[in-house]
Chain A
């Protein structure tokens, strides 16, 4: 909850698509889920209904433009995030998406989630990776909330909140 508050506090700062420093930041976390990879993948790949396991999201709106698909996440504490689906690979069990714009203090944020088989047929591992930059790209002093740490805190909060919720959702379906 505390991490979620940190994330939501950080939402005051506006995302800027073309501004970032030289070092991409990385958040990579995983969770083990007691269910088959096929069961887990069916939930993870469902881009349109991810609000079921994104606890900080109050509403999700899907839009398609030609072949491209987008979702707008309305955040519980206010603000929105527009994300674009970049690909679903059923063979690799990998979904890729990016933040187009939104109330998150990151720039150029690309993410992917993979599902792999765990120790037995009824165990899976879900790994979420995000690659992004801070908002401010110039020399120090860096404005508060636009530094690497703020970007990392925000994305850590997202993943830390989402993965346990995904686990809970799938394991309670059984």
Chain B
């Protein structure tokens, strides 16, 4: 009798486990220090799988409802992760050091910034054929795509500018703060996060005017939820929460060590922050701003880009 119950339990567990990833909100955390991706189930707040990758995984992006892609800086490759079985299913040799990525899912396109070459490459995400290259300024890092305006925004870290691209041609370059790295866009605005000047640059995508908003020390990336701006401050071990209208600091939340990247889990109303120094991610309640949990990942957790995949 016990045996039969055990078997039923095991079969049920197996089925639940298999369907688990398809029906869960996932975070894909690239761990640059041990060449892995930690797959975190954000409903249960647990690491459900660790994938061995090529060397130096950094960027993350989702290319369609079933696939994510990571950029490996040291191996100079992209790797595709199947979100249903959580296996790596494809590997693309690039011949350049990839950093930021952003996809246009409807068009099956992926932009990848090439750090040393001052270029952005465009790929077809089905054939993985390289379609074109766009020459930008030095050290292109973060990329974001504003769907409403059809604009690609690129931070050029060593030239302190953001490049605004339309139809794969440079439309405008905008002066930012010092050392822009992360990029974010929402509505008619784009933002660069400026590591050395301890601020973010807000760019109006209609008239291209810009202004700076103060952050903590060595900010790295940001997100916006409703009327709040959230910025990770790598040298303060904090997350600045800023009122978007008044641009005043609401509170600095304590993270773990060297918080780098940040994403919003809309399904569970959570903020997810990767802590490079502690090898963890921190989960905060988006409404109460209270810490929920720190979760251990691989070494040097980074997850640069869109790393949260909502429940389907």
Instruction: Give chain A's interface residues, CB within 8 Å of chain B.
Output: 18, 21-24, 26, 28, 86, 96, 110, 112, 129, 131, 137-139
Contact = CB atoms under 8 A, between A and B. Distances in A.
B53 to A, nearest CB: 14
B73 A86 contact: no
Contacts of B32: 23
Contact of B235 (A96, A129, A138): A96
Contact of A22 (B73, B117, B258, B276): B73
Contact of A131 (B56, B73, B158, B277): B277
A112 B73 contact: no
B257 A129 contact: yes
B235 A86 contact: yes
Interface centre among A21, A23, A26, A112 (most CB of B within 10 A): A23
Contacts, number: 38
Given A110-B235, A129-B277, A26 B33 contact: yes
B258 A23 contact: no
B74 interface: yes
Interface residues of B, number: 23
A112 B299 CA distance: 17
Nearest to B56: A23
A112 B257 contact: yes
A23 B73 contact: yes
Interface in B33-50: 33
23 contacts: A21-B115, A22-B97, A22-B115, A22-B141, A23-B32, A23-B56, A23-B58, A23-B74, A24-B300, A26-B33, A26-B276, A26-B300, A86-B217, A110-B218, A110-B235, A112-B277, A129-B257, A129-B277, A131-B258, A131-B277, A137-B158, A138-B116, A139-B117
Nearest to B116: A139
A16 to B, nearest CB: 13
A92 to B, nearest CB: 9
Given A28-B277, A112-B257, 14 more contacts: A22-B99, A23-B32, A23-B56, A23-B58, A24-B276, A24-B300, A26-B33, A26-B300, A86-B217, A110-B235, A129-B277, A131-B277, A137-B158, A139-B117
